[in-house]
Amino acid sequence: MNSTAPTLTPTTRALAWCLHVLVVALLALAAGRAVVDHHPQAGLITATAAACAVIYAAGPVLPRVRRSRRAAALWLAAVGACWLVLLTRSADGVWVAFPLYFLQLHLLSRRAGLAAVAATAVTAITGFAAHQGAFSPAMAIGPAIGAAVAVAVVWGYQALYRESEQRRRLIEELTATRADLAIAQHAAGVLAERERLAREIHDTLAQGLSSIQLLLRAAERALPHAPENAARYVDQARQAAVDDLAEARRFVAALTPPALEGTTLAGALERLCATTSIRHRITARFHLTGEPVPLTTAHEVALLRVAQSALANTVRHAEAATAEVTLSYLGDHVAVDIVDDGGGFRPDRLPAPDPEAGGFGLAAMRARVHALGGTLTVESAPGHGTALAAQLPLTPSAHDEPEARA
């Protein structure tokens, strides 16, 4: 009935209606018995009971009584005053004290409600004893037990309500936390997928387009003096475009790279070296050491992409004459080493990655290898070539399984 009272549920609404019916029935009982028994003050008792019923009925429908504890206390005082008048005129008014207990405990604070219940019980006992003309302990048992039951019921309900509210808040917090976690996981998944796509695009399509650009430039330089060489370069560029188109289609379909279809990782690396030697002015040779063992698709793709990216960087930047690609099975590890005799560079002075100039190769290779629990090392110096080594564990750890499935 007020802002401090618990929110009504279907169960509490039913209990409230039962309380209303009980009050009206007890008031009607007092008035009816006065009339039936031809009480000398039957008219006054009936009028008092009716007035008490009217005052009581006004409480639930007045918005101020429902919203303000002070207004509710005033309304309760008016009902109590009318009940006192009824009690002084009829002994049957003592029964109305029982629903008053619940009203007082519900509308007032815990301390004030307990004091009001005690005062109402004492008043009911005193009034009933006055009508009987004597006092006996039996007269106090009914109102006292009624008061104790009312206190136990209301306080028990309030404790259950507080616990229910606490659980509701915990459930809401848990739901909100789960929603936030889902959003965070979604964002992390999107970011991881973007990084994966960036690595795949850099190691496949971007490197292929770079190779096509180099071939077309070579064809342009050879065109005036050696048309047959220009035609050969153009044919190689066309074949590179066909390969890149196949990569793009397989990439969209989320399948394994075409270079690994129907062959092993060693075969794919050997073919990569042969293709690089044919298309560019560099001799790329492949070597295999150790006893080959089956690898997961994620491991094969990662090592192939590292070799593709490293050879592409060698062709574009190193001006090397030879490159050696070695696939090594080292017991519990597998490694790919790419060594060239190019101009080399300072690994600690690499330019920042730029969308126009590139520079994402080493970062993409390192991220790909680290995602599978491996290591990537680069050794180079100006004028002394470059050696790049990618090493992966043969037994992927648990946190690598999502990457392997991807």
What is the per-residue pLDDT across 45-92, written as a single tens digit (0 to 9) for each? 888 888 888 888 887 777 777 677 788 888 888 888 888 888 888 888
Res 375 pLDDT > 80: yes
Q: Is residue 173 part of a domain?
A: no
Res 371 pLDDT > 70: yes
The pLDDT, as a whole number, for residue 105 is 82
Task: Name the burial class of residue 186, with classes exposed (0-12), middle (13-18) and buried (19+) by CB atoms within 10 angstroms of its CB.
Answer: exposed
Question: 128 with 202, same domain?
Answer: no
C-beta atoms surrounding 81 within 10 Å: 12
Res 28 pLDDT > 50: yes
Q: Is residue 361 part of a domain?
A: yes
Per-residue model confidence as pLDDT tens digits over 91-119: 888 888 888 888 888 788 888 888 888 88
Question: 266 with 118, same domain?
Answer: no
d(CA 237, CA 227): 15
d(CA 65, CA 60): 7
Question: 125 with 192, same domain?
Answer: no
Res 392 pLDDT > 90: yes
Question: 110 with 187, same domain?
Answer: no
Res 147 pLDDT > 70: yes
Average pLDDT over residues 298-303: 89
Number of Cα atoms under 13 Å in the Cβ half of residue 281: 12
For the CA atoms of 85, 87, 89, 91, the dihedral, rounded to the nearest 10 degrees, stands at: 170
Phi, psi of 46 (to 5 degrees): -60, -45
Question: 98 with 227, same domain?
Answer: no
Structural domain of 335: 181-405
Contact yes or no for 282/276 (Cβ under 8 A): yes
The last residue of one of the domains, among 106, 135, 164, is 135
Q: What is the DSSP letter of 390?
A: E
The last residue of one of the domains, among 107, 135, 163, is 135
Average pLDDT over residues 248-260: 62
Average pLDDT over residues 379-385: 89
d(CA 52, CA 41): 16
pTM of full prediction above 0.75: no
Per-residue model confidence as pLDDT tens digits over 194-246: 777 777 776 677 777 777 888 888 888 887 778 788 888 888 888 878 877 77
Q: Is residue 201 helix, strand or coil?
A: helix
Question: 259 with 387, same domain?
Answer: yes
d(CA 364, CA 388): 14
- 286 band by pLDDT with thresholds 50, 70 and 90: very high
- Give strand pairing partners of 377: 389
d(CA 47, CA 31): 8
For residue 387, the domain's CATH number is 3.30.565.10
Average pLDDT over residues 269-277: 91
The pLDDT, as a whole number, for residue 352 is 59
C-beta atoms surrounding 242 within 10 Å: 11
The pLDDT, as a whole number, for residue 94 is 84
The last residue of one of the domains, among 98, 115, 135, is 135
For residue 83, give Cα distances in angstroms to 25, 114, 127, 142. 14, 18, 11, 18
Question: 37 with 122, same domain?
Answer: yes
Q: Is residue 34 part of a domain?
A: yes
d(CA 295, CA 134): 101
Question: 128 with 221, same domain?
Answer: no
d(CA 115, CA 108): 10
Q: Is residue 151 part of a domain?
A: no
User: Which of the given ranges, 174-178, 250-254, 315-319, 377-381, has the highest pLDDT on average?
Assistant: 377-381
Q: Is residue 165 part of a domain?
A: no
The pLDDT, as a whole number, for residue 334 is 95
Q: Is residue 174 part of a domain?
A: no
The pLDDT, as a whole number, for residue 246 is 74
Question: 223 with 350, same domain?
Answer: yes
The pLDDT, as a whole number, for residue 400 is 46
Q: Which of 186-200, 257-271, 305-319 has the lowest mean pLDDT?
A: 186-200
Question: 53 with 192, same domain?
Answer: no
Question: 316 with 225, same domain?
Answer: yes
**Over the chain, what is the mean pLDDT?**
81
Q: Which two tokens stand for residue 38?
A: 């031809």
Question: 206 with 123, same domain?
Answer: no
Q: What percent of the chain lies above the pLDDT cut of 70?
A: 86
Chain mean position to CA 269: 43
C-beta atoms surrounding 100 within 10 Å: 25
Q: Is residue 145 part of a domain?
A: no
Total domain count, the chain: 2
- 356 band by pLDDT with thresholds 50, 70 and 90: low
Q: Is residue 148 part of a domain?
A: no
Average pLDDT over residues 315-319: 84
